[in-house]
Amino acid sequence: MGTATAADPHPSFLADKDAKVFVAGHRGLVGSAVLRRLLSLGFTSVVVRTHAELDLTRQADVEAFFAAERPRYVVLAAAKVGGIHANSTFPADFIAANLQIQTNVVDAALRCGSVRKLLFLGSSCIYPKFAPQPITESALLSGPLEPTNEWYAVAKIAGIKMCQAYRIQHGLDAVSAMPTNLYGPHDNFHPENSHVLPALIRRFHEAKACDAPEVVVWGSGSPLREFLHVDDLADAVIFLMDQYSGLEHVNVGSGSEVTIKELAELVKEVVGFQGKLVWDSSKPDGTPRKLMDSSKIQGMGWKPKIALKEGLVETYKWYVENVVSDKK
């Protein structure tokens, strides 16, 4: 897309590195990766705010921020996230906070008049519980959601629809990306409410640290899952900001699957745990397969670069240096 032409007076995103880019949620797993990627590419005016500095659930504060800063580009990676337990315990918080964040940011982006493009980040949980595999973008709203996180999912679906509505009615260039299961630096390694991959890293590390003879993992290990390193997602976000301007949301996945058993054995190897890996098949397995169809973005010319083992080695290093060392 290159630089500006007579037909298109605006430079492409990658040719506009002096423009203000607001990354909402820059301390999270996704936002921090997007921030790292923008800075490494030479963007000189990336704007960030902590939650203490700007509460995105407060409409007046968000409008004042946009009016004062007037960003040209917005990456909306801010969200209230949590595991199954948090979603079921605090459903009102999950639906309200996420609806507020999205509504305030998208509407302020339109009103301030300076925003040329906005990218909204969703999640693969927007899709029906029994969507055909691999899951295509067209599966959205084709069936009932997974009940355990429907509050979060409904808010994210509303975010996609809001971007579409603002494009149709107001001409706002708002696009949406739906990533698969993510991992990497700044992930949540909390013992109670982390996802499967960071939970395995933590458990194998702690077992290694105390010379435990075995690690017991729930289920049979047979379910298939897809994982994408967050730096690959950040790369896809930049790609879409530069190359995509369509109504439909875009899946972003690795396209490769691994069984939970293979994943656990790989984490065991990367961590260096010498004990036994035991499967408790009396415990539930969860969904047998969850894979996103990412042929749309791959057809545009993007593909992931980080292999799972390579990403795990780097993520474990980050965990040891940042989570383990902080506890000492």
Residues 50-64: b if buried by 16+ CB within 10 A, e if exposed: eeeebebbeeebbee
Query: Is 73 designated active site?
Result: no
Residue 185: partners with Cβ closer than 8 Å, 6 or more residues away: 29, 32, 33, 230, 314, 315, 318, 322
Q: How confident is the model at residue 259 (pLDDT cuts 50, 70, 90)?
A: very high
Provide the residue type at 307 as one letter: A
State residue 267 phi and psi, 5-degree precision. -65, -45
Angle between helical axes of 260-271 and 196-209 (0-180°, round to 10) = 40
Tokens 């013992």 belong to 191
Tokens 């679906």 belong to 157
Mean pLDDT over 4-27 rounds to 85
Long-range own/partner contacts, residues 126-134 (CB < 8 A, 24 or more apart):
126/153, 126/156, 126/157, 126/160, 126/178, 129/287, 133/289, 133/290, 133/291, 134/291, 134/292, 134/293
C-alpha angle with apex 254: 261 to 149, nearest 5 degrees?
70
Residue 85: partners with Cβ closer than 8 Å, 6 or more residues away: 192, 193
For residues 294 and 134, what is the distance between their CA atoms, to the nearest angstrom?
A: 9
For residues 231 and 36, what is the distance between their CA atoms, to the nearest angstrom?
A: 9
Could you tell me where the beta strands, DSSP code E, fall in 180-284? 181-183, 214-218, 224-229, 250-252, 257-259, 276-280
Q: How many CB atoms lie within 10 A of CB 327?
A: 5
Strands 73-76 and 117-121: parallel
Mean pLDDT over 134-149 rounds to 94
Provide the residue type at 109 as one letter: A
DSSP class of 190:
-
pLDDT of 8: 58
pLDDT of 1: 42
Return the half-sphere exposure (C-beta side, CA atoms, 13 A cut-off) of residue 223: 18
Cβ–Cβ under 8 Å, residues 16 and 168: no
Q: To the nearest 10°, the Cα dihedral for 216, 220, 223, 224?
A: 70
**Which helix (DSSP H) or strand (DSSP E) does residue 88 occupy?**
helix 84-89
Q: How confident is the model at residue 5 (pLDDT cuts 50, 70, 90)?
A: very low
Is residue 9 over pLDDT 70? no
The one catalytic residue among 152, 244, 316, 319: 152
Could you tell me where the beta strands, DSSP code E, fall in the chain? 20-24, 45-47, 73-76, 117-121, 174-179, 181-183, 214-218, 224-229, 250-252, 257-259, 276-280, 289-290
Predicted confidence (pLDDT) per residue in 35-60, tens digit = 999 999 999 999 999 999 999 999 99
Mean predicted lDDT score pLDDT of the chain? 94
DSSP class of 125:
G
For residues 247 and 137, what is the distance between their CA atoms, to the nearest angstrom?
A: 12
Mean pLDDT over 294-301 rounds to 98
Predicted confidence (pLDDT) per residue in 312-328, tens digit = 999 999 999 999 887 66
Predicted confidence (pLDDT) per residue in 163-219, tens digit = 999 999 999 999 999 999 999 999 999 877 778 899 999 999 999 999 999 999 989
Mean pLDDT over 67-95 rounds to 92
Cβ–Cβ under 8 Å, residues 125 and 182: no
